[in-house]
Amino acid sequence: MAATLKDVAERAGVSRSAVSRTFTDGASVSDKMRRKVEKAADELGYQPNFLARSLTTRRTKLIGLVSDNFTNPFFLHVFDLFTSELQKRGLRPLLVNISGQHDPVDTAQMLRQYSVDGVIVASSTVEKGFVDAFRKVRLPEVYTLSRHSCSPDVNIVGIDNEAAGAFAAEVLIGRGYKRIGFMGGPEIATSTMDRFVGFSRVMSRHPELEFTHSFAEAYSFDAGRDEMLRLLKDPPAEAYFGADDVISIGALSAMHSHGLKVPDDVGLMGLNDLEMAGWANINLTTIRQPVRQIVDSSVELIATALEESEEDHVPQARLFPAKLVERGTLRPPHTG
């Protein structure tokens, strides 16, 4: 069907190795030979087969991109950045969707069977079972947007969620709010829990302030809205930190339908800086993760891990600062 190395060699009247060498950079071929081979290859439309090559080179340039987060629009952006960045380096993402009930061991074995060079896990809610299973196949791997503390001997890139939670509390306190609420995602999400820990730590240093907390059922608009509707049966806090934008936007909708003015009656801050947080009818003050840097750094980390031998590689955590994006749902800094 498609032309092979052998076809090219025959047509050019040279050995197969010669052809192979013209298509391998750094190999020793004379100019004359190279021209002869390239001519034959062009005429036949020959392209080397990456998979056959991988058998001897032990490099497929395939990277498993594993996620279970296919509902939060934030992750479309994450996938966009990951795919472009990997492609720039000649790496190819094999996308693996582990939402639904997938067996961790099967998934890990599948990745090994496809000889992926490395694995990127992009999710903050990946189960422990996957972490263990992936580790067993001994592939270079990096966890992105994942929990900092859970696997100390593995590459992690993201923000420090505890620090981000603490920062959120400091911002709200800095605006002079006295009755402050934390509204998280589901309690099984490590991202939410880490943010909660940081948030609580700061609040506990201010016993003069009133601190309440609650958790939405899921990382979704509806869950955020429902939870806020529940909270609004009682007099609300003066300001809330919603541990994710999509939840905060749900909460905002609940506030509006209760006739509450934001930020005049109640303040609200999110986290993630979704594109729609900037929409004119939402205009959510939020904390931004530097996604581009996080992704770039993850890809760079996996790319260098591919070069090193397994023993040489020392896993690292790369934590980035999150920063406030001021919009219209918090009152301005307290002056005086």
Footprint on this chain of its own copies (rule: CB under 8 A): 2, 47-52, 54-55, 60, 62, 65, 70-71, 73, 75-77, 79-80, 83-84, 87, 92-97, 99-100, 109-110, 112-115, 221-222, 225, 249-250, 252-254, 256-257, 275-276, 279-281
Q: Does 56 bind DNA (CB under 7 A)?
A: yes
Looking at beta carbons only, is 165 or 224 nearer to its own copies?
A: 224
* Residue 104 interacting entry, from DNA, its own copies, none, C-beta within 5 to 8 Å by type: none
Looking at beta carbons only, is 17 or 316 nearer to DNA?
A: 17
Give CA–CA dist 110/95, Å, rounded. Answer: 12
Q: Does 75 bind DNA (CB under 7 A)?
A: no
Give CA–CA dist 42/181, Å, rounded. Answer: 67
Near DNA by CB under 7 A: residue from 10, 24, 163, 283: 24
- Are the C-beta atoms of 157 and 298 separated by less than 8 Å? yes
Give CA–CA dist 284/277, Å, rounded. Answer: 5
Tell me how far, at minimum, the Cβ of 25 lies from DNA, in Å.
10
In 10 A of CB 293, how many CB atoms?
A: 15
Q: What are phi and psi of 67, to 5 degrees?
A: -155, 155
Q: What are phi and psi of 45, to 5 degrees?
A: 65, 40
Q: Which of residues 273-292 bind DNA (CB under 7 A)?
A: none
Residue 91 has which token pair? 């790496």
Binding segment for DNA (CB under 7 A), chosen from 25-33, 78-86, 122-130, 311-319, is 25-33
Give CA–CA dist 54/59, Å, rounded. Answer: 5
In 10 A of CB 317, how many CB atoms?
A: 15
Tell me how far, at minimum, the Cβ of 39 lies from its own copies, in Å.
18
- Are the C-beta atoms of 267 and 250 separated by less than 8 Å? no
Looking at beta carbons only, is 27 or 51 nearer to its own copies?
A: 51
Near DNA by CB under 7 A: residue from 18, 111, 119, 203: 18
Helix (H) or strand (E) holding 141: strand 141-144
Q: How far apart are the first and last CA of the chain?
A: 79
Q: Does 186 bind DNA (CB under 7 A)?
A: no
Looking at beta carbons only, is 177 or 240 nearer to its own copies?
A: 240
The answer for residues whose C-beta is within 8 angstroms of residue 53's C-beta and 6 or more apart is none
Looking at beta carbons only, is 105 or 163 nearer to its own copies?
A: 105
| Distances, alpha carbon 69 to alpha carbons 145, 163, 281, in Å | 11, 23, 26
Please work out the total of residues on this chain that contact DNA, with binding judged by CB under 7 A: 29
Binding segment for DNA (CB under 7 A), chosen from 13-21, 81-89, 152-160, 265-273, is 13-21
* Residue 15 interacting entry, from its own copies, DNA, none, C-beta within 5 to 8 Å by type: DNA
Which residues here bind DNA, judged by CB under 7 A? Answer: 1-2, 4-6, 14-18, 20-21, 23-24, 27-30, 32-33, 46-49, 52-53, 55-57
